[in-house]
Structure 1
């Protein structure tokens, strides 16, 4: 074959082919012929990829929030629905678009804003004051360094820069507030007649019609697929821990001494002279000259005054530049190095340049040397921390053993149960929508219906169904989805057909009456039913009325105004095959002048928030329209 190719390609054609091959290998690299790129993102915004890991992490965070907050607008199970998963991804795309817009507009989050956000977090406060010890301890338990957490806070604040700017420019006029209260305080006079449920003259339903209805609505008469599983569970709360010995506590103390140490701290004030992003050499020189002039004038006595007059750090200038007590690693590296290299009472002679912000003039007002708290002083805290740490260690060890044993013996839970001394539990039957008890957890349901368990008959992998709670499972029973026999549901099908007939007849009769009323007919004589009235009805009174069908009250303020003082009748379905005829006889607008100033101001704030949110969403939509966004639905 090679000889034939050689015989056919020679001379200048061979030279051209060889040249193309050499060029391809040289330009692209020979590895491109052997290595192919596999995309794993769920979405791509421009050049930025949103990975499956980041997306799943966000979903997990929302699941934890839903589980911990009873006021959450969604449940953990809701987050398994495709539409909610898409909403979460849309939110991540919007955040990335805002970050890219920040870069284009030269917007950044200052160190002062990050410090203010962390210092104002109640989770890091003791007796209403920021506690460095609590801050470090909480981050340590979460496996995060201060730098990692500050980066997370900075990223969160960055997504709010443009929405905050939009909010600050949103205006709500007095006319807007007046319009709202005219509607909110509006009063209406209603008349309505409740029509009786009609009777059918023909209640015969042939078997053929029943069978046809049953077939066309077969999904309504199908028992969903259900499973029951056996499972083994390891819970951290069930693990028994003895009292720690002094030796164990001393070992723990030595290992995590930084948790119980008072760090080296500096109490500082500063004056910031901002340097614009992409500043020209002239702008940089002007900022440096200004900073040098202030540094030359600054003394401990006039520092607060100079900060109030000159500092570009809006967060601290009102307090005379006061930054409070700072630890190493809290500020940016340049600021940090300068601050911890100063002597108490000293003011920097040369301004300190921070690339993100500008020039700082720093005054070190006081200093605290770091020192560890004695063992005896923190013994009770040590015992609590040891118990938490040991409980997590034992749980992770036990859960790991359970997962390994279930994997080594995929056909049964018996070996794992015997070795670990665990009881094999059996769940009730549940569908893909979950069930009562542990099947309420979407991760449990997802594992039960996974191919490995449902079809292959293997044990599941370890499933974390909650913090400190893990299970493995094995299929116990599987009931495929199956239509119910027509004979079993025949009566309910017949009744549903009759109900639909009644509803159609009731709608037809109500529409005919409205048509006659439009021609001038009298409601009392046409309906031969009592006509009821509600006068002076406003939105605040609706909830207190119990003797009127809710459907009438819900639509009372959506019906049209009377035209030329003539009422317009409309039909309102009230349920169970009944309708009501309703008219609005009079509308009186609310009087905004009777609303107190505090209530008006509160409404104005709410309207500004709503309008700002709408404007921010419009801005994000405009960013989406201009951006190159790709979504990989098959990876969601």
Structure 2
């Protein structure tokens, strides 16, 4: 296996390895605003330390990832202490695993060569230009924006890619045998026929039956579950190219000079206006061509183009307008049509029959608009905006440096900085760690606002680069700690919570009873009718089908095969609280002789990778067992 690992040095880099590698431009986007806290050690793996900065940075990244995954539901989910506890523990476990794997890779002497490293960096799409090629300018800009030098970034990538070699070497060492592919084929391709019944818990929900005493008792169990989120209101200065540009006045002479110097940039491509009559080919091309020839003859004899188009064209849009297509340039029409239009030399000229995939066209050129530069008045606003932005960018660079210098010197206020730079000191709405309006929508802003330096020590933040043209510096103006809500504010929330819990219990009792009756051979038709419930019959369903919901399909495929035609019956509570009953009637196994050779080879490869992933997980646990791991932070 070690040879396979070492071969990874000469293989293309694996992009994902069990969540170990995080792309630098995601993780380090938070770095400038999460490194202001303590640099104390929170865990140690052998001789390698994990600092509080690293842990907090990874935790913030995980929070942002979870927020993107769960969307609007995140704030509600995050209120659950178990969710936060598990997330913190996962972050710590991942950091420890990363260190363990790096140590093991070093011990094995794995190495990622400099040439391969540079090739890997050049392959990262974030560094590519519009043509898909590596851009040194983009590379340098992204590194600067994320507080990296080429040396430190390459060192980080070297460590990550070396760790990936270990992962890839173990995973690729996994093998599978032919009988496994046959067995997997039977699992994947078998079909099952079953009846399913879903009983919604909402049918049993009765909020009005929840008493005030029950609500009080539930609240008293743990009032800390009903807390307001910790919030801050921010005072901040915003510096942006767009805002600076608005105040810049451009002299008319500068506008005229720019126009004359760059007139070629404003030249518009030649445009043509035409009209046509389309006779669609449909299934009879000969008939379409004959009809088009007859119309062309009528035009040559002097009949009106517009009237013939209205009466005969199969283009439903232009036909109503006498065939008029309006103005268009090259690339707007199919090639034969475009060639015919741009091949004419003067308005009024008419084509013969032009064949396209739509049918036969008769085209007449109406007007030509040459490729000339528009007058200055037409592009003046555009020129002004360009010159304003150019000057604003230069001013932005200068003021950004001053903003960083003055806000650092002022320390715990931004008033003098605002005055010296001519900026308006703005105030945000209330912002929590996970959400906010206005400037609080920016994850980088929230990360900075709740950092130790800004929140606890009350210092101004470092400049926060929201994009290339926008920077903010902030401080906490007001702080609202998390507080337990009074019962009156959460009474209805608790009422609904208890009603939902009781409904889940009630629907399970109802469902369990149905299953008992069905297994006893009793009729449940009356119970189903009383509750407006109906069976759904699914025929020859495959394991991958999820039309009824994945949980129901998994249950159907988890039941044993019916014996002598006797259905297998079972029920279960679903994750959303609803209850499902499954009656399995038939299982059909495919013939392994029908498996395609190429498909079997793919299946063997996939199974080998699965075995390899399992081996890697066991391998890492073994390495952990022999490592000295000391965690000093309570991740809970």
Give the structure-2-normalised TM-score.
Answer: 0.55
Task: Write the distance in 2 (CA, Å) between the matches of 1:584 and 1:206.
Answer: 42
Task: Write the distance in 2 (CA, Å) between the matches of 1:389 and 1:102.
Answer: 54
- Alpha carbons 1:221, 1:483 under 8 Å: kept: yes
Show the counterpart of 2:213: 208
Greater Cα shift, 413-422 or 463-472: 463-472
Count of matched residue pairs = 442
- Alpha carbons 1:193, 1:530 under 8 Å: kept: yes
- Alpha carbons 1:464, 1:470 under 8 Å: kept: yes
Please show how residues 583-602 of structure 1 align to structure 2 within 5 Å: 583-602=583-602
Task: Write the distance in 2 (CA, Å) between the matches of 1:596 and 1:434.
Answer: 52
Show the counterpart of 2:163: 159
- Alpha carbons 2:219, 2:487 under 8 Å: kept: yes
1:486: how far off?
3.3
User: Which residue among 532, 535, 539 is the counterpart of 2:539?
Assistant: 535
Show the counterpart of 2:501: 500
The answer to whether structure 1 residue 181 and structure 2 residue 182 are counterparts is no
1:500: how far off?
3.0
1:536: how far off?
0.8
Show the counterpart of 1:169: 173
Show the counterpart of 1:278: none
- Alpha carbons 2:464, 2:473 under 8 Å: kept: no
- Alpha carbons 2:89, 2:635 under 8 Å: kept: no
Show the counterpart of 2:88: 82
Show the counterpart of 2:233: 228
Task: Write the distance in 2 (CA, Å) between the matches of 1:531 and 1:605.
Answer: 40
Task: Write the distance in 2 (CA, Å) between the matches of 1:517 and 1:163.
Answer: 50
Judged with a 3 Å threshold, the aligned counterparts in structure 2 of structure 1 residues 623 and 207 are, in CA distance, closer, same or farther, namely: closer
Map Cα deviations across residues 163-204 of structure 1 (whole Å, 9 max, x no partner).
343344322222222222222222111123445766689964
Please show how residues 306-455 of structure 1 align to structure 2 within 5 Å: 398-410=399-411, 412-450=413-451, 454=455
Task: Write the distance in 2 (CA, Å) between the matches of 1:477 and 1:231.
Answer: 12
- Alpha carbons 1:196, 1:578 under 8 Å: kept: yes
Map Cα deviations across residues 287-339 of structure 1 (whole Å, 9 max, x no partner).
xxxxxxxxxxxxxxxxxxxxxxxxxxxxxxxxxxxxxxxxxxxxxxxxxxxxx
1:93: how far off?
0.8
- Alpha carbons 2:102, 2:162 under 8 Å: kept: no
Greater Cα shift, 227-236 or 147-156: 147-156
Q: Does the residue aligned with 2:238 lie in a helix, a strand or coil? A: strand
The gaps in structure 2 that reach 5 residues or longer are 1-37, 79-83, 251-388
1:122: how far off?
7.2
Task: Write the distance in 2 (CA, Å) between the matches of 1:242 and 1:625.
Answer: 69
Show the counterpart of 1:373: none
Show the counterpart of 1:517: 518
- Alpha carbons 1:227, 1:430 under 8 Å: kept: yes
Q: Does the residue aligned with 1:536 lie in a helix, a strand or coil? A: strand
1:583: how far off?
1.7
1:615: how far off?
1.9
Task: Write the distance in 2 (CA, Å) between the matches of 1:621 and 1:50.
Answer: 19
Judged with a 3 Å threshold, the aligned counterparts in structure 2 of structure 1 residues 229 and 126 are, in CA distance, closer, same or farther, namely: closer
Judged with a 3 Å threshold, the aligned counterparts in structure 2 of structure 1 residues 110 and 479 are, in CA distance, closer, same or farther, namely: closer
Judged with a 3 Å threshold, the aligned counterparts in structure 2 of structure 1 residues 453 and 156 are, in CA distance, closer, same or farther, namely: closer
Task: Write the distance in 1 (CA, Å) between the matches of 2:54 and 2:206.
Answer: 63
Judged with a 3 Å threshold, the aligned counterparts in structure 2 of structure 1 residues 559 and 218 are, in CA distance, closer, same or farther, namely: farther
The gaps in structure 1 that reach 5 residues or longer are 1-37, 244-387
- Alpha carbons 1:97, 1:624 under 8 Å: kept: no
The answer to whether structure 1 residue 93 and structure 2 residue 99 are counterparts is yes
The answer to whether structure 1 residue 218 and structure 2 residue 223 are counterparts is yes
1:123: how far off?
8.0
1:508: how far off?
1.5
Map Cα deviations across residues 363-382 of structure 1 (whole Å, 9 max, x no partner).
xxxxxxxxxxxxxxxxxxxx
Show the counterpart of 1:567: 567
Task: Write the distance in 2 (CA, Å) between the matches of 1:618 and 1:489.
Answer: 46
Judged with a 3 Å threshold, the aligned counterparts in structure 2 of structure 1 residues 237 and 603 are, in CA distance, closer, same or farther, namely: farther
Give the structure-1-normalised TM-score.
Answer: 0.55
Map Cα deviations across residues 464-486 of structure 1 (whole Å, 9 max, x no partner).
25454543323344444344443
Task: Write the distance in 1 (CA, Å) between the matches of 2:99 and 2:182.
Answer: 38
State the Cα RMSD in Å.
Answer: 5.1
Q: Does the residue aligned with 1:557 lie in a helix, a strand or coil? A: helix
